[in-house]
Amino acid sequence: MKVFVVNCGSSSIKYQLFDMAGEKVLAKGLLERVGRPDAVLHHTVNGTRHERQMGVGDHSAGLKFILDILVDKQAGVIARIDEIEGVGHRVVHGGEQLTQSQLITQDVLQIIRRNAELAPLHNPPNLAGITAAMAALPNTPQVGVFDTAFLASLPPQAYRYAVPGAWYRQYHVRRYGFHGTSHRYVTLRAAEYLGKSPEQVNLVTVHMGNGCSMTAVAGGKAVDHSMGMTPLEGLMMGTRCGDVDPAVIFYMARNASLSMDQLDIALNQQSGLLGVSGVSNDMRDCLAAAQAGNDNAALAVQMFAYRVIKYVGAYYAILPSCDAVVLTGGVGENSLPVRRMICEGLQRLGAAPDAARNQACIGGKAGLITSDGSALKVMVIPTDEELMIARDTRAIVEKTGS
Ligand code: ADP
């Protein structure tokens, strides 16, 4: 079965086409600058990169452009578009109703539309991608895979905020969490690696990319998570502040005369590694600047690792036991110094850092980065959200017999 996975952002479309026999990626790519006359499509087949440019007015035109290249004589990988038997869509916010992957019906579309209030930057482009795919492939089942779904198992003491109850009941103010597809994928892979069934495994999973989040997993289910009602809470990120005293917001509004929009931009786009280092939101740049003697960059990296260590401590306390701390995402999969700092910071909990193993886990390789006999295992598992979406899509298409 061929499954097409689509991830629409406000001005981009990421995609992968899988042959589920062997879970092989036939083609993948990224269309950038959707909505502009100079859109560019980066399309990769078997390591060969193709680049095409053209004006792409909206997501619907963008998707058509991508579907065309999939059947293109030179850069294509299938003969006909109807070889695609299922389309899997990444949808950021499923809210309290869409708690598992499912076939997209008119009712589901309606709920995703309603949840746009909670994810105004993400759900509208996700919806645009779904409607475009439904129009382009009207006879192909479309499946929604929700970032929030894996976190739907959080108990109320973890998802409620200590704010007036009516805020939750009337305005749905609560922790939803994000990156759930990544946390679910690495949970399954870690269980496999540790020789346990997913229902037996207790983990702390740490996703460190541009956005960063952590999940406490007990018996294979999420029981706490660092991101909140929006992806701003929790760990320090590339440009997002993570945890901050909410009173800072009123203080800066009153004393620096910042508007709500300016505060939103400051905390979402000008904070995190970028805000503290003054150098970059990219961990590689911060590490290089720190190495070259930039104290602000060194502090930013230190704060980033410190907050991960602090959260692991908190999650360790609430879990029945901890089989491993799992690191993933661009930083978790690649950054030896950040991984070393995290392992060293976890020595009080029994982690015994292993420099050679840390060195060996790069380039997409999974493995332990603590020594044999370490009381707390720390491991690296490269994430693969697209594969998770493709697997869910296949399972749902097969189950519904669509
Ligand atoms: P996204 O959240 O956009 O999917 P990624 O998971 O690709 O992002 O992670 C991006 C982050 O990974 C950036 O901060 C980048 O600096 C970091 N990163 C990627 N490769 C390396 C590396 N070799 N060393 C350190 N950091 C890296």
Across the chain, mean pLDDT equals: 96
Residues 221 and 131 in one domain: no
Q: Ligand 1, from 273, 334, 385, 386: best to mutate by most atoms within 8 Å of Cβ?
A: 334
Is pLDDT of 43 > 70? yes
Judge if 271 and 377 occupy the same domain: yes
Together in a domain, 199 and 297: yes
Does 369 map to a domain? yes
Q: Are 136 and 229 found together in one domain?
A: no
- The model's pTM is 0.95
Pick from 179, 186, 188: nearest CA to 211: 179
Do both 200 and 139 map to the same domain?
no
In a domain, 270, yes or no: yes
Q: Which domain covers residue 96, as residue numbers?
A: 2-146
Give 122's pLDDT tier (boundaries 50, 70, 90). confident
| Catalytic annotation present for 147 | yes
- Torsion sign, CA atoms 119, 156, 391, 382: positive
Residue 402 in this model has a pLDDT that exceeds 80: no
Q: What tokens were used for 354?
A: 């292993």
Ligand 1 site, residue 36, Cβ cutoff 6 A = no
Q: Which of 274, 283, 361 has the most ligand 1 atoms within 8 A of CB, as the residue to mutate? A: 283
pLDDT tens readout for residues 124-183: 999 999 999 999 999 999 999 999 999 999 999 999 999 999 999 999 999 999 999 999
Is 181 inside any structural domain? no
228/333 same-domain check? yes
Catalytic pick among 19, 72, 147, 295: 147
pLDDT tens per residue, range 214-263: 999 999 999 999 999 999 999 999 999 999 999 999 999 999 999 999 99
HEC readout, 78-107: CCCHHHEEEEEEEECCCCCCCCCCEECCHH
Tell me, yes or no, whether 36 lies in a domain. Answer: yes
Residues 204 and 91 in one domain: no
Domain assignment present for residue 109? The answer is yes
Q: Over the stretch 259-292, which tens digit does the pLDDT of each residue have?
A: 999 999 999 999 999 999 999 999 999 999 999 9
34 located within any domain: yes
**Angle between helix 336-345 and helix 295-318 axes, rounded to 10 deg:** 50
- Whether residues 68 and 211 share a domain: the answer is no
User: CA 56 to CA 31: how far, in whole Å?
Assistant: 9
Q: How far is the CA of 233 from the centre of ligand 1 (A)?
A: 19
Let me know whether 118 and 252 are in one domain: no
What does residue 52 show for φ and ψ, rounded to 5 degrees?
A: -135, 145
Question: Does 35 fall in a domain?
Answer: yes
Whether residue 163 lies inside any domain: the answer is no
| Ligand 1 and 327: CB distance under 6 A | no
Name which residue sits closest to atom 12 of ligand 1, judged by CA: 330
Evaluate: CB of 126 within 6 angstroms of ligand 1. no
* Ligand 1 touching residue 310 (CB < 6 A): no
Using pLDDT thresholds of 50, 70 and 90, give the confidence band for residue 117.
confident
Distance of CA 193 from the midpoint of ligand 1 (Å): 24
> Domain containing 28 — which CATH number?
3.30.420.40
Domain count within the chain: 2
